[in-house]
Amino acid sequence: MPLSFDYLEYATIIPMRYIVFDLETQNLFQDVGSNDVTALDISVATVYDSETNQYTTVTVDEIDRLWPIIEKADALVGYNSNHFDIPLLNKYYPGDLTQIKSIDLLEDIKLALGRRLRLDSVAQATIGAKKTADGLQAVRWWREGNIKDIKKYCEQDVRVTKEVFEYARKHGHVKFKDGHKKKEIPLDTNHWEIKEETAMTHSLLF
């Protein structure tokens, strides 16, 4: 969806540096006896930095490596990230990640369509890519000590989310399968492009 001149007259448009990210967990809600995301524990995390075009994947023991990358972001991009990934990652972060601009693809899809869609459904219809596993399998791998496959899966999720985000940013819509037909979901992406001035609480001094 193109940006109108009137809309942007007083807005700050930037060549946005965005960080696409995803987390895997060591456990499930049923394991911790709570629906509180912050009761879970991270196993693996992946971030993609649009400025360097690099993916960084770490285990929870190395998670401090992500803070210098995340803190340079104009926006954090995820799928269901406002309700899952950001609260959970904030449990480990020494500052406040909610002070960084957030772009949650699922939130925008739900706003446009009226219901939630799985990332896999959107990705297959929009960019012809798919997830390689699911969160339950990632927990099983963690319990088996299979860190290699969790890392591969988490990074693939970030690659898929990144490509869906970039497609939506360029075309103003995503697609999903409704039966055997593909349907478009128009997205208002204007707010993605606006730089937000925030009082970011950084964990590091630059």
Question: What is the CATH classification number for the domain harbouring 27?
Answer: 3.30.420.10
143 domain-assigned: yes
Q: Look at residue 67 and tell me if it is in a domain.
A: yes
Q: Does residue 203 fall inside a structural domain? A: no
Which parts of 63-192 are beta strand (E)? 75-78, 102-104, 173-178, 181-186
139 domain residue, yes or no: yes
> Is position 2 within any domain?
no
On whether the pTM is more than 0.75, the answer is: yes
Q: Is residue 183 part of a domain?
A: yes
pLDDT, residue 198, reads 53
105: alpha, beta or left? (left if phi > 0; alpha if psi -120 to 50): alpha
Fill in the DSSP letter of residue 80: S
- Euclidean distance between CA atoms 203 and 8, whole angstroms: 32
Give how far Cα 23 sits from Cα of 73, 91, 99, Å.
17, 13, 19
Structural domain that includes position 137: 16-193
Decide if 42 contacts 61 (C-beta within 8 A). Answer: no
Environment class of residue 33 by beta-carbon count within 10 Å: exposed (0-12), middle (13-18) or buried (19+)?
exposed
Partners of residue 49 on adjacent β-strands: 19, 54
Instruction: Report the residue count for the chain.
Output: 206
* DSSP letter (8 states) at residue 4: P
Instruction: Domain count for the chain, please give it.
Output: 1
- Extract long-range pairs of 1-9: CB within 8 Å, 24+ residues apart: 1/172, 1/173, 1/186, 1/187, 1/188, 1/189, 1/190, 2/172, 3/190, 3/193, 7/190
Per-residue pLDDT at 2 exceeds 60: no
Instruction: Evaluate whether residue 54 is within a structural domain.
Output: yes
Q: Is 204 inside a domain boundary?
A: no
pLDDT > 70 fraction of the chain, expressed in percent and rounded: 88
pLDDT band at 7 (very low <50, low <70, confident <90, very high): very low
pLDDT for residue 199 is more than 50: no
